Amino acid sequence: MLFELTDEQKMIQDMARKFAEREIKPVAAELDRTHRHPEEIVRQMGELGLMGVTIP
């Protein structure tokens, strides 16, 4: 079994991490408190191809 990420998977992982740090982390506590999922963040995730990602 291959347990290491491919270069493409590493690139997606890095992009997702940067997006989360920039867009989600600053508002995460408030979103947890209010049980909200802002449409804008979900839309941006879709544009980045992060909806339905099937990599580790």
Q: For 30-39, what is each residue's pLDDT tens digit?
A: 999 999 989 9
* Residue 49, in any domain of the structure: no
Place of tokens 């347990």: 3
Which domain range does residue 12 map to?
1-38
Instruction: Name every residue whose Cβ is closer than 8 Å to that of residue 53 and which is 6 or more positions away in sequence.
Output: 12, 16
DSSP state of 22: I
Q: How confident is the model at residue 52 (pLDDT cuts 50, 70, 90)?
A: confident
- pLDDT score recorded for residue 55: 62
* Residue 44, in any domain of the structure: no
* 23 CB neighbour count, 10 Å cutoff: 16
Instruction: Give the count of domains, the chain.
Output: 1
Averaged pLDDT of the chain: 91
DSSP-based three-state secondary structure for 20: helix
C-alpha triplet 14, 18, 24: angle, nearest 5°: 135
Say yes or no to pLDDT of 22 above 70. Answer: yes
Say yes or no to pLDDT of 4 above 70. Answer: yes
* Residue 55, in any domain of the structure: no
